[in-house]
Structure 1
Amino acid sequence: MENQKNDNLNLLEAVVQNTEMGKNTLEQIVPMTDDVQFKAELLRQRNVYHQLNQEAHTAIEACGGTAQGQSAMAKFNTKMGISMKTLTDKSTRNLAEMLTQGSGMGVVDCVKAQKDYPNAAPGTKRLVQRLQDFQEDSRVKLEQFL
């Protein structure tokens, strides 16, 4: 039982960190584009990340835990990485390429987290699967802007 609780909290924390990465990245990138269709897609994705993040926070609290989220260093590194990659190129293509790569990394993180915490509750596993499916779908949608 303790194993399941630990796996559950760890898997939920992985969802929190993954969704924060997506949400924070999109909040930084949205103002960089004037492409109306692209911006609409980014805002849609940001809203889904926010919703999944809230669900994970609620589930962690229901288990008696507290979400840690991304470390300040991880947030800083991501912000600086985006700033460097967009310093000379804020084209839709470049932004879409960066986000496509990020979505792919998010999918990999979901797969690894599921393997790392096999004893998590079914509801938590479904939440991770929804996040993974959303990121795969996002990657495909972003490819039209490459």
Structure 2
Amino acid sequence: MAGDKKVFGFEEVARHNVTKDCWLVIAGKVYDVTSFMDEHPGGDEVLLAVTGKDATSDFEDIGHSDSAREMMEKYHIGEIDASTIPAKRTFVPPQQGSHVQAKDNDILIKILQFLVPIFILGLAFGIRHYSKSE
């Protein structure tokens, strides 16, 4: 039975990433879970979130039951060609410049909100003081 399973390239599997056509890669196997989307206890969003990547660690982290693992077999449609899986991308944090600049702008605005009324108040007192002196 395993001999008639197809070998899929990663790009082909990744294209099946919507509710009405959803494939997953788990432990080197390709699963067409389209008909399972409505039945999945975590909802279809959980399955859609792991399309287009190797979902093995996501699947294992949840701690699926033995019956869930057995159920998977009916959705198994083939194997993934391991040579087509892209190398893991290193996480690159977003540049901090814009965030720091926004924080600086917030501080400047708060300082001005404090200083401008004090300046106006001081100006008003100064004008009043000089106008009484004359």
Normalising TM by the smaller chain, what interval? under 0.3
Taking structure 1 as the reference length, the TM-score comes to 0.22
Taking structure 2 as the reference length, the TM-score comes to 0.23
| Larger Rg, first or second structure (1 or 2) | 2
